Amino acid sequence: MKKFIIFTILMILAGCDQKNSGQQQVTNGQTLSSSASALMNKNPEIERLFLQQLSASGVIIKWRGAADKVRLGKESTKLDAVFPARMEDGHQIAYVSGLEADTDYYYSVGNTIGTTQTYHFRTAPETGSSPEDGSLRFWLLGDSGTATEFERDGKPSHPGEAKAVLEGFMKYNNGVVGDQHIDGLLLLGDNAYPAGTDAEWQGAFFDIYPEIISSAVVLPTIGNHEMGMAPINICLFTDMLACDLTGEIVYPLGGASMSSDPSSYDSDDDGPDSEGLPYLNIFTLPTRGELGGAASGTEQYYSSDFGNVHIISLDSQLSNFDDDLRGAMKDWLVADLQASAEQDWKIVIFHHPPYSKGENHDSDLEQREIDMRTTFAPLFEEYGVDVVYSGHSHSYERSWYLSGHYGLSNSFTIEEHVATDSDGNPSFGSPDTPYSKDNRLVYTVAGSSGKFNKWHPCEPEQFIKGQAFGCTKDDWLLHPAHRTFEALAEDYRRHGIARLGSVVIDATATRLTSRFIDDKGTVLDTFAIRK
């Protein structure tokens, strides 16, 4: 039993853990091109190009390289407006303003006309308004940063899995629905493994999604892997056989830092990173309420209006560290939701899920998950939040349409906490019979965008011998708050889906639709909420 407890502790700590070349003709949608990143990187003037703070009247364009200006216009062949850039936190940054709402713009980045390809974005509709085409689209990635995670022998732990998820989504986005433009990319945390270094952000994020992030605004949240690495000597906790053979074993654990201070970021065991937390250096996030909602005063949590959608990013890692920090974030959330009360849809993202029975994460056991559930779930219900998305657990799980449950999973009942049909059965919220907007909401775990965990039960003797690493628990993906998936023939355990994938949200004036799409482009789950 001692070894089982130690294994559980370690797993909790460790868990969180293309076709064209040359000048590319941009369209209203994003094209999947394996050569796009290479094209960008061939130009010494620009690399890691991405968008921040896209609004109805402006946008922030960021990159690295020698280029110091942006050229922009409504026609790809007529880029008459010029915006200078300045260096901030190791990036060139151009503040583009004076734009028209819900309008296509084309831009290039470079000091000489014609040195870079032409890119595209579309400004947000006016706050409270739906776009001219009737729908906004947001793509969500949780725990996608595994491209830079390696085994001890130097081989990649999850080669190509994040790219497979991208290709599956683009197959759906460009093939099934006909080249739908992506308005925003929402990151659910752990998007750079294993320590969230600047180099890992390059390899796990910027090198994989260049076409997306140069045309859709990026809205991230902090995960545990964004907070560096920490060593642990497991021989201090257990008398495993391996300890007798080697003397000691030290495992690097992603995000094991218990500090609430971003300046304590540590990418290895040599001391704090002198350049601060890469996550905060890379992204330029609203702090003054400049994109709607209330001013947070910090990039660790913030909000943004996008047409008739209000998006809130909470910090379940650092600002959830103690009662005082959590209380400050709670007070801000109340003010923000009050300020955005008239928005049609309210979406909340943060890393640690309030309801989960993931492979190595359990919302009954992990304090950050408990605190997010008990502190914030009542506010979500009171102020009309529609959906909450998290990562952390490397699977797909989604709740029923629920309210009023803030305790452990054994206190959950269908009768008390879930919207039901006339027969008393929980409603699935399918597109044909969507949920009707009320004080309930859906919680979704989407942490399989870079890796997923399969069912690998341990035998009792494995625990006895200290060989339980990598085994799954008997109650994995069995949280009673989650809907069932008996219709799927494989890769599921009743209340969740163990398969690579991502989530896409479509929001209109009267309906919000959420889909889980696997790496083959197949939609495995859909729910909708109507006004």
Q: What is d(CA 222, CA 315) in angstroms, rounded to the nearest whole number?
A: 6
| Mean pLDDT of the 371-382 span | 98
pLDDT of residue 154: 83
The DSSP secondary-structure symbol of 484 reads P
Span 143-197, pLDDT tens digits: 999 999 988 778 888 999 999 999 999 999 987 555 789 999 999 999 999 889 9
Which residue spans of the chain are classified as CATH 3.60.21.10? Answer: 2-24+136-504
The Cα–Cα gap between 310 and 128 comes to 9
Q: Of 201, 143, 248, 164, which Cα lies nearest the Cα of 522?
A: 164
**44 φ, ψ to 5°?**
-65, -15
d(Cα 476, Cα 459) in Å, to the nearest integer? 15
Quote the pLDDT of residue 459.
79
Q: Computed from CA positions of residues 186, 190, 196, 202, in that sequence, does the dihedral angle turn out positive or negative?
A: negative
Superfamily of domain 2-24+136-504: Metallo-dependent phosphatases (3.60.21.10)
| pLDDT at residue number 43 | 64
pTM for this predicted structure: 0.89
Q: Which residues make beta-bridge pairs with 362?
A: 357
Q: What is the pLDDT of residues 350-359, one digit of tens each?
A: 999 999 999 8
Grade residue 228 by pLDDT with cuts at 50, 70 and 90. confident
Position 12 confidence tier, pLDDT thresholds 50, 70, 90: very low
Q: What is the mean pLDDT of the chain?
A: 86
Tell me: pLDDT of 342 over 50: yes
pLDDT of residue 132: 86
β 119-122/81-88 pair status: unpaired
User: Comparing 69-73, 113-117, 244-248, 349-353, which segment has the lowest mean pLDDT?
Assistant: 244-248
Distance CA 148, CA 155 (A): 10
Alpha helices (H) along 19-112? 36-42
What is the pLDDT averaged over residues 493-498? 88
The answer, yes or no, to whether residue 3 has pLDDT greater than 90, is no
Q: What is the pLDDT of residues 17-68, one digit of tens each?
A: 433 333 333 433 454 444 344 444 456 678 999 999 999 999 999 999 989 9
CATH code 2.60.40.380 region(s) in the chain: 36-122
Span 518-531, average pLDDT: 96
Task: Give the pLDDT confidence score for residue 1 in this predicted structure.
Answer: 37
More confident residue, 475 or 493: 475
Of residues 39 and 452, the one with the higher pLDDT is 452
Whether pLDDT at 242 is above 80: no
CATH assignment, 36-122: 2.60.40.380
Q: Which amino acid, one-letter code, is at 501?
A: G
pLDDT band at 262 (very low <50, low <70, confident <90, very high): confident
274-326 pLDDT tens trace:
468 899 999 999 999 999 999 999 999 999 999 999 999 999 999 999 999 99
| pLDDT tops 90 at residue 493 | no
The arithmetic mean of pLDDT across residues 131-154, rounded, is: 91
- Identify the pLDDT of residue 16: 39
Instruction: Look up tokens 């008393």; give the residue.
Output: 424
What is the rounded radius of gyration, in angstroms, for the C-alpha atoms of the chain?
Answer: 23
pLDDT the model gives residue 246:
53
Instruction: Tell whether the torsion through CA atoms of 372, 193, 19 and 81 is positive or negative.
Output: positive
